[in-house]
Amino acid sequence: MPQIVVENLVKTFRVAERKAGTWGALKGLFHRRYRTVRALDGISFTMEAGELVGYIGPNGAGKSTTVKVLSGILIPDSGRCLVMGRIPWKERTAHVAEIGVVFGQRTQLWWDLPVIESFELLREIYRIPRREYLQTRDELVAMMRLEPLLDTPVRQLSLGQRMRCDLAAAFLHRPKLLFLDEPTIGLDAASKLAVRDYIKRLNRQGVSVILTTHDMDDIEALCRRILLINRGRILFDGALEALRAQVSRERQLVILLAHEETWVEDPDAQVLRRNGHHLTLRFDPARISAAELIARITARYEIRDLYVENPPIEEIVAQIYEEEAP
């Protein structure tokens, strides 16, 4: 049986609305208008143990709501949801003992306590046997290089440091399933790499991960499977390559010209961008193979360097978001 089964999950929120300005506020006193927002509009998917799934979608798509339902925090209006054989919100306590969560914009550490004391508290809360705890903790401290941070109160940590500690905290009780809600938000490049490395390592140990993010580099670096959601519905479920193929098969050829003023033209490729010596062409590999195009270009123009690449996943995803926009 899959580790997660979600069928037709629906969750609506009621949002109070009022018109702008004093008059709107006064009117709101007597007659309040509500708007119903369908945060989840019939979501279905399954996930096997050990998978690492990227959950992507624009802001307000319903990603966080899904994660909160799956982790037992929110109760959906209708639909079926089984995580490791349990209904999360019905058996919340038993359920959350086996999962780990990170909400990237918030911390689960105690603001005024040194990191190590937060860890100790979590040990008590999850009733982790001391030996097991020390082993996991030392492993995590080594993996995330937390040693110098352990005695610092959380409020004095930088965002990147805090996130590393938060991720370690989510795994102290060795959950089988991790929900990571935007764990790389606001992090610098080095911290992002550390976080990705950590996620990859845990996943290799057999931990399933659901990762929501806006950072497509996270997705490319980590996820074989992605779920793309918008306005409460799943638009795509499958491999990153399949998504790419579904949207467009185009490839891009980036050329570094010897002379800036060279004018490049080819019947099977269009100029996409021109930036000094750099020129980006796009072409359809079904019409012309990359090798043939390169041969033609290098024969005709003076080229210093060139390489072929896929269009950035960002562009693909943005294209889907736009097609779907109301």
Residues at the contact surface with another protein, assessed by CB under 8 A: 13, 64, 68, 71-75, 92-94, 96-97, 99, 101, 103-108, 110-113, 117, 120-121, 124-127, 181-182
* Count of alpha carbons within 13 angstroms of residue 78, beta-carbon side: 4
Q: Based on CB atoms, which residue is closest to another protein, 101 or 163?
A: 101
Closer residue to another protein in complex, CB, 72/160: 72
Q: How far is the CB of 318 from another protein (least distance, A)?
A: 22
Which residue, 79 or 238, has its beta carbon nearer to another protein? 79
Is the Cβ–Cβ distance between 97 and 170 less than 8 Å?
no
Element (H, E) at 162: helix 159-171
Smallest separation, CB 182 to another protein (Å)? 7
In the three-class reduction of DSSP (H, G, I as helix; E, B as strand; rest coil), residue 159 is classed as helix
Q: Whole-angstrom Cα distance, residue 183 to residue 167?
A: 8
Nearer to another protein, 43 or 243 (CB): 43
Angle between helices 115-125 and 159-171 (to 10 degrees): 20
User: Given the complex with another protein, which of 2 and 114 has the nearer CB atom?
Assistant: 114
Instruction: Write down the least CB distance from residue 5 to another protein, Å.
Output: 20
Cβ-proximal residues to 134 (8 Å cutoff; 6+ apart), any chain: none
Rounded Cα–Cα distance for residues 253 and 290 (Å): 8
**Shortest spacing between CB 97 and another protein, in angstroms:** 4
Pair type for strands 233-239 and 78-83: unpaired
Nearer to another protein, 22 or 105 (CB): 105
Q: Indicate if the alpha-carbon torsion angle 204, 188, 113, 115 is positive or negative.
A: positive
